[in-house]
Amino acid sequence: MPVIKFYKHDPIPMEMHKVKIVQQLHLLPARERLEKMKKAGYNTFQLHNGDIFMDMLTDSGVNAMSDNMQAAMLRADDAYAGSETFYRMNDKLTDIFGMKYLLPTHQGRACENILAEHFVKPGNCIIMNYHFTTSKAHITRLGGHVEELVKDEGLIAQSTLPFKGNIDLDKIEKCIEKEGADNIPYMRLEAGTNLIGGQPLSYENMKAATEITRKHGILNLLDASLLQDNLYFIKTREESMKDKSIREITRMIADLFDIIYFSARKFGFARGGGILVREEQMFHDMEDLIPMYEGYLTYGGMSVKEMEAMIEGFEESMDMDVISQGPQFIQYCVDQLDAYGVPMITPGGGLGAHVDASQVVGHIPQEEYPAGALTAALYICGGIRGMERGTLSEERNPDGSERLASMELLRLAFPRRVFTLSQTEYVIDRVKWLYDHRELIGGLRFTHEPKTLRFFTGLLEPVSDWPEKLLEAYIAEFGEDQ
C-alpha cells in the first residue's frame, strides 16, 4: 500500500479496502478465560473459537476474501474429472510462475507428503534454510534427516538485517561435500522462514544458492506458502529489485526452481494447495500419488469453489497494495512493542509479529516451554490466541530428551484484511501489560504428549499456581469483565 501522509498524525498503516461483511466478536470475562484455558490443556489449539476475542493463531485459511474472490466462487465447475475450474487455475499459475504442470492438493502439508513420498529414502539428507514442522516430520518419518543451513545472523533476535532467512552458501557447499550430492534429493528453500519470525530471503541469495545445488545435480524446491510477504520485502528492501514489478520478481524467482509448492491457505487467500513442476516427466512420476492421497487430478481434494476463489487470490497477490498490508501492520505492531521495551524479533517479518519469549520469560527453563506458557498467559490476559513457536513445536530426541528450539517465540499472526488498527492497538496494550508482569508467569509440563506434532493436540498443565496469581493481578488492573 502507498505511504499515506497525515496532516495532524504520525504515519500509520492504512487499509486499502472497505469492509462489507463483519463477524461479531466476544470478549469473555477474565475468570472464564482461565477456566477455558484449563479445559484446553494450556494449548491454544484446543480452545473453541467462540471463546476467543482475537484469533492470531495463524494466517492459514483465515484470511478475508475480496469481493472478486467471493463472486468467482459462483462460476465453479464441480465436475469430478476434467473440471474447467482446474484448467483456469492451471492457466493462472502458468501465467504467474511459468511452470506448465500442476498437481493439486488440499493444502501445503499434503504437498510435503507427496514430495517426501516421491523423493525421500532412508538416510537421505534434505538441505533447508530452516525447517517447518510438517515439512520436517514428513522427511523424518521416511528415515531422512534435515540440515538447517540458515545464516547464523538469522537466529539473532534483534537486528536490522533485512533478509534473516537467507541460507548460508558456505554451509551448502560443506553439506554437499559431507553428505554427497547423490544422497541429497533436493534443497528446500522457504520463502519466509515461519519458525524464526517469518524472516525473508533475498532474491540474490536464492539465485546464488540454487546455482550451487544445480552445479551438483541437486533439485531446487521452493516453499512459496509465504511468498507474498517475501515478495513485498524483496521489492522494498533489495535495492536491485525496487524498479521491478511484483509480477516480474515472482517470475525471476520461479525461474530458479525445478518445483514450487504452496499452501493456498496463505498464498492465494483461500483453502487449498498445489505443486508446480517444470519438467513433464517429473510431473508424470508423481501424478499417481494425487489420486492415492488427495483426490482426482483436477481437484486434488479441494472444493472447486475455493479453487475459483484462489484463482482471483493469485492475481491479487501480484498487487503491491494487496500484499503490503500484512507486513505493514506487522511492522507497526513490532515497532510499538519494541518502543515499549518488549523484546521482539526485529525487523518485523511476514506472517505475524513475534515476541521473543526467551527474553520475556527467561526465568522459565526451555524444558518447561516458556513460549507456550507466554502464549497461554496472553489468552488469560486479553482473550488473544497466539501460537507457540519454540521447544513445544519440536519433537523429542530419540533418547527421549527435549530437542531445545533455536528460538522461543510467541507468534501473533495477522490474517490478511481481518483486523483493524484499533484491534492491533489492543493487542499491543495487553502484550505490554503482560511484559510488565512477566515475573508472574511460570512453566508448563505435559499431561498428554503425542509422539509427532505434539503442539497440535498435546495437553499441558502449569508447574505451579502461576495462572491464578497472574489472573488476580490482571483483575486488579482491569476488573472482572475485561
User: Which residues are the active-site residues?
Assistant: 80, 132-133, 223, 266, 389, 455
CB atoms inside a 10 Å sphere around CB 455: 21
In 400-414, which positions are buried (b, 16+ CB within 10 angstroms) versus exposed (e)? Answer: eebeebbbbbbbbbb
Is the previous residue joined to 122 through a cis bond, with omega within 30 degrees of 0? no
Contacts for 161 with CB less than 8 Å, ≥ 6 apart? 153, 347
Cell of 231: 515478495
* Helices 466-478 + 370-380 axis angle, to 10: 40
Q: Mind giving me the DSSP string for 398-431? A: TTS-----S--EEEEE--TTT--HHHHHHHHHHH
Strands 352-356 and 409-413: antiparallel
Q: Which of 282, 290, 288 is nearest to 259 (CA)?
A: 282
CA distance 476 to 437: 12
CA distance 102 to 85: 13
Do residues 120 and 144 lie in contact, with contact meaning Cβ atoms separated by under 8 Å?
yes
Beta bridge partners of 146: 126
Q: Which of 123, 128, 117 is nearest to 150 (CA)?
A: 128
Cell of 423: 484491534
Q: Which of 264, 241, 234 is nearest to 324 (CA)?
A: 234
